[in-house]
Amino acid sequence: MSTPSNSSASSSQSDTTAARSCKISASPHDALPSAAGKKPAPPCTLVIFGAGGDLTRRLLMPALYNLAVDGLLDDGMKIIGVNHGERATSEWVEDLHTSLQQFAADKASTFHAGKLDDNAWNWVAQRLEYMAGEFESDDTFAQLKQKLAQQHSGNVIFYLAVGARFFKPIVERLGKTGLLKEGDEANGGFRHLVIEKPFGTDVTSARDLNAHILTYASEAQVYRIDHFLGKDTVQSILAVRFANALFEPIWRREYIDCVQITAAETIGVEGRGSFYEQTGAFRDMVPNHLFQLLGMVAMEPPNSFDAEAVRDKKAELSDAIQPLTRHDVVFGQYEKGPAGPGYREEPDVAPDSTTETYAAARVFVENWRWAGVPFYLRTGKRLAARRTEISVQLKPVPFRLFRDTPVDALTPNVLTLRIDPAHGTSFDFNVKMPGPVMQVGAVQSSFDYNDFFAEQANVGYETLLYDCMLGDETLFQRADSIETSWCSVDEVLHPKTGGPIEVHGYAAGSEGPTQADALLARDGHAWRPLQRDAVGKK
């Protein structure tokens, strides 16, 4: 988010295209040219716990490669991968290289860079080192401390790309070994701790985890990461809201009828049945990803883009969310349908499972700006289309002017912010159709990022890793916001009356359970169809 101000290495000025081509003949140890207007992050050592995992292969290494292509990593960068199991560094590096080549060649992959740039990859590969170690062994951290003492830079980022059960033991051993102690550049530098979701499974576990972490590290050292916030299209929400006089004055209850936030997937649980059985769609997506999008849409304007100014406004918004009850949510589970088998037929799923693969919620924000405006959230597996977007529907105009014309209803004005897989915005509005009779037709004005900006390979972690190196916490969650979000859904997760919330079936490949339609219908609203043409109709 922020523009870097400090660097130990100078950066050459070149445009983005030139930076991505990286046509250099220098040795792998020479600095790569940086993107225009930006300098490399400070030198640091990135320690990745879980170096052999899927997150490292699919997201962290592609993001580091892209940062190297853009010249945003300092020449003093070092990456130490920690994982159980002995293996040579060369073997680990070769495995990562093979994976990157496969992802780059796959147009359906998030990382679709095409052919890898050999100079950029060699630059990264020269800085990789594998270290075998168990995450709950004191010997691992003693060995790590010795390695870090040999690094030129005292700046270290510890990235916990591991299962949630390892968060506590790793943080505790880092703290007790003194590896989280910060100092000046000569005596320790910064020590940042990056923690992936799930950050707790409810408010009690989130508070417990926060308390444990803050025993060994300060809040300023902790970077709770949500990859949704690393997407350019998510960050662009603030630009759309606050940089345009067309939208900023109407972004309030007087003009907005409702807001819909959708994160729909066509895939199923993809072999992660055992994980999903313990989590479910609501826990996995609503209190974190969807609430983060809600925060970007609904937060008050900060005085600046300073990290704490932005996070203060997000915290205020989280605190204003009215706690959800069982009457505000609908759960669903996909059954056999046009898109394939049902959830209960997936591997590692109980044959009588009641885990939800779909969740819809009606949320109200109790503050001056949004009082009375419903925010409808939905997420699910095996739905009719892959679509992550935010639709802001304006209040209708009076129909009186058209009472004597053949106009039954006007198409709602809807501003849609498309996050994934298409990137851009669209606006639905009404015009007069050609002809002698006053007939109103729906049209759409749209903007696609690829029409205006050069496409860049981006997995969503580039900005987050870069900001972490810079010490910019704008896009990372604070302890109070996480705990408040869990508080807002506690009654849904642990109903005090009525037993567990009912889970309704829906056909794989459909729009979701019909009960979710009824959730909106009682307010006089309807979901935007997942499968629709340019003006939002089926």
| Domain extent for 26 | 13-196
Check whether residue 237 and residue 189 sit in a common domain: no
Distance, in Å, from the CA atom of 126 to the CA atom of 143, rounded to the nearest integer, reads 21
> Does 175 lie in the same domain as 269?
no
Compute the distance between CA of residue 272 and CA of residue 269 in angstroms, rounded to an integer: 5
The alpha-carbon radius of gyration of the chain (Å, integer) is 24
Domain boundary residue, one of 143, 176, 196: 196
Do 271 and 165 reside in the same domain of the chain? Answer: no
What was the pLDDT predicted at 343? Answer: 97
Q: What is the signed CA dihedral for 452, 454, 460, 465, rounded to 10 degrees?
A: -120
Confidence band (pLDDT; 50, 70, 90) for 440?
confident
In degrees, rounded to 5, the angle at the alpha carbon of residue 466 between the alpha carbons of residues 465 and 472 is 100
Considering the domain architecture, whether residues 386 and 243 belong to the same structural domain is answered as yes
- In this structure, is residue 213 part of a structural domain? no
Domain match, 334 and 483 both: yes
Residue 67 has pLDDT above 50, yes or no: yes
pLDDT digits (tens, 9 = 90+) for 496-508: 988 999 999 999 9
In a domain, 238, yes or no: yes
Is 215 within a domain?
A: no
pLDDT at 211: 97
Q: How does residue 5 score in pLDDT terms, banded at 50, 70 and 90?
A: very low
The three state secondary structure string of 90-130 is HHHHHHHHHHHHHHHHCCCCCCCCCCCCHHHHHHHHCCEEE
pLDDT value, residue 230 = 86
Alpha-carbon torsion (279, 285, 286, 292), positive or negative = positive
Q: Is residue 89 part of a domain?
A: yes
Mean pLDDT on 210-233: 93
Pick the last residue of a domain from 147, 176, 196: 196
In a domain, residue 26? The reply is: yes
Residue type present at position 28: P
Do residue 237 and residue 175 come from a single domain?
Answer: no
| Closest C-alpha to 464, from 64, 9, 22 | 64
Query: Based on the domain organization, do 281 and 426 belong to the same domain?
Result: yes
Instruction: Indicate which CATH number applies to the domain containing 392.
Output: 3.30.360.10
In terms of domains, do 263 and 412 share one? yes
**Is 531 within the bounds of a domain?**
no
- Is 385 found in the same domain as 237? yes
Q: Which of 47-56, 154-163, 181-190, 362-371 has the lowest mean pLDDT?
A: 181-190
CATH of residue 76's domain is 3.40.50.720
Give the pLDDT band (50/70/90) at residue 154. Answer: confident
pLDDT at 408: 58
Compute the distance between CA of residue 140 and CA of residue 82 in angstroms, rounded to an integer.
Answer: 9
- pLDDT > 70? residue 226: yes
Q: When comparing pLDDT for 110 and 11, which is higher?
A: 110
- C-alpha to C-alpha distance for 91 and 448, rounded to whole angstroms: 41
pLDDT of 25: 32
423 is catalytic: no
Which among 417, 418, 416, 407 is positioned nearest to 442, based on CA atoms? 407
Q: Tell whether 333 and 269 lie within a shared domain.
A: yes
Taking the CB of residue 386, how many other CB atoms lie within 10 A of it?
Answer: 14
Based on the fold, state whether residues 162 and 57 are members of the same structural domain: yes
DSSP 8-state class, residue 383: B
pLDDT at residue 411, as a whole number = 82
Q: Note the pTM of the prediction, 2 decimals.
A: 0.88
Q: Is 286 domain-assigned?
A: yes
Which pLDDT value is given to residue 32? Answer: 55
Residue 240 and residue 187 share a domain:
no
DSSP secondary structure of 416-446: EEEEESS-EEEEEEEEEPSSSS--EEEEEEE
Can you tell me the mean pLDDT for 171-178?
97
Confidence band for 2, pLDDT divided at 50, 70 and 90: very low
Asked if residue 10 has pLDDT above 90, the reply is: no
pLDDT tens readout for residues 395-433: 988 776 766 666 556 788 999 999 988 889 999 998 888
Convert the pLDDT of each residue in 300-326 to its tens digit. 999 998 999 999 999 999 999 999 999
Query: How many domains would you assign to the chain?
Result: 2
Which among 227, 289, 423, 525 is annotated as catalytic? Answer: 289
Domain assignment present for residue 219? The answer is no
